[in-house]
């Protein structure tokens, strides 16, 4: 996440994320699932523009950076009070005892219902921007605890780098030294419901270990790292959408080092050897009509 000041106010770049590893350990008493995941932020960003609103209200507007009918395949984004960025700011106002207003304009690039964490990243960006705008001085840790009330993925975006997340996702441990990785990311024409994917998922009796993947990436062993990419939710998603199998086959043919679905889908990613490989794979997928494809790398 990157925040800077402009002549008009604040601008925050909110990154998407990929799950390079995702294990479901079991269902908790509170209805959530216990997970262990390795999250890697990428340079596909939503942009949040923020200014003070003298009326004392929270104002919000949103539009896609892309234009045209193909935007429909990027998913729906609520523009009212149910939007996660609006809820985040309202919660911060309540907890901090603030009555000042804020105007937010969100330019979307991260597809929704895709497993890329766009809504959670936008909420984290809104928390950082509002705290800065109102001079609250809240730390990222404080904002992360507040964000966890809105969604399990919100705290990870306040770490601003790769991380291992546990619990229901809100326990975040930064990981350094993974290197700058390159990917092709493809969002098929249809999304997936997180709740439906979790309902169809069956946790393994014996959890897969995360450590071998982290160790391979720390050593720069891309080939072994590609083999160790993992997502327990992928078989469940495959029962709900034909795109899962089709994208897996396409990424195999694109000669990716490894590939997986991210989060609860429907986006898939392929780990590439370098930026040229990622761009070539993205052009191939776009030419074959597989929704939107992006060549990305780690968010700096």
Active site residues: 17, 153
Reported as type and span, the H/E element at residue 234 is helix 234-240
Are residues 148 and 158 in contact, defined by beta-carbon separation less than 8 angstroms? Answer: no
Quote the distance between the C-alpha of residue 34 and its chain's center: 18
> If you write DSSP's letter for every residue of 153-176 in order, what string do you get?
TTGGGGT-S-EEEETTTTEEEE--
C-alpha angle 145-112-175 in degrees, rounded to nearest 5: 45
SS3 content of the chain, % helix, strand, coil (to 5): 35, 30, 35
State whether residue 63 is helix, strand or coil.
strand
Per-residue HEC secondary structure of 3-69 comes to EEECCCCEEEEEEEEEEEEEEEEEECCCCCEEEEEEEEEEEEEEEEEEEEECCCCEEEEEEECCCCH
* Element (DSSP H or E) covering residue 224: helix 222-228
């Amino acid at each position: 996440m990157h925040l800077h000041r402009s002549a008009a106010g604040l601008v925050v770049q909110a990154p998407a994320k990929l799950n390079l590893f995702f294990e479901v350990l079991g269902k908790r008493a509170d209805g959530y699932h216990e997970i262990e995941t390795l999250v890697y932020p990428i340079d596909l960003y939503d942009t949040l523009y923020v200014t003070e609103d003298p009326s004392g209200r929270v104002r919000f507007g949103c539009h896609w950076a892309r234009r045209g009918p193909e935007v429909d395949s990027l998913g729906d984004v609520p523009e009212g009070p149910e939007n996660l960025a609006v809820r985040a700011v309202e919660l911060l106002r309540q907890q901090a005892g603030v009555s000042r207003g804020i105007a937010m304009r969100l330019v979307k690039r991260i597809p929704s219902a895709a497993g890329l964490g766009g809504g959670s990243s936008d909420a984290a960006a809104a928390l950082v921007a509002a705290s800065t705008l109102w001079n609250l001085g809240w730390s990222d840790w404080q904002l992360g605890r507040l964000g966890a009330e809105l969604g399990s993925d919100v705290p990870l975006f306040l770490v601003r780098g790769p991380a291992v997340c546990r619990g229901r996702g809100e326990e975040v441990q930064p990981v350094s030294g993974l290197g700058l990785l390159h990917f092709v990311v493809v969002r098929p024409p249809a999304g997936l419901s997180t709740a439906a994917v979790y309902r169809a998922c069956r946790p393994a009796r014996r959890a897969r270990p995360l450590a071998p993947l982290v160790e391979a990436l720390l050593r720069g062993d891309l080939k072994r790292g590609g083999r160790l990419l993992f997502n327990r939710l992928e078989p469940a998603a495959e029962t709900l959408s034909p795109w899962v199998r089709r994208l897996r086959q396409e990424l195999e043919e694109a000669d990716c080092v490894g590939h997986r679905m991210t989060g609860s889908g429907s986006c898939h990613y392929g780990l590439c050897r370098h930026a040229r490989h990622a761009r070539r794979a993205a052009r191939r997928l776009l030419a074959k009509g597989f929704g939107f494809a992006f060549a990305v790398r780690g968010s700096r």
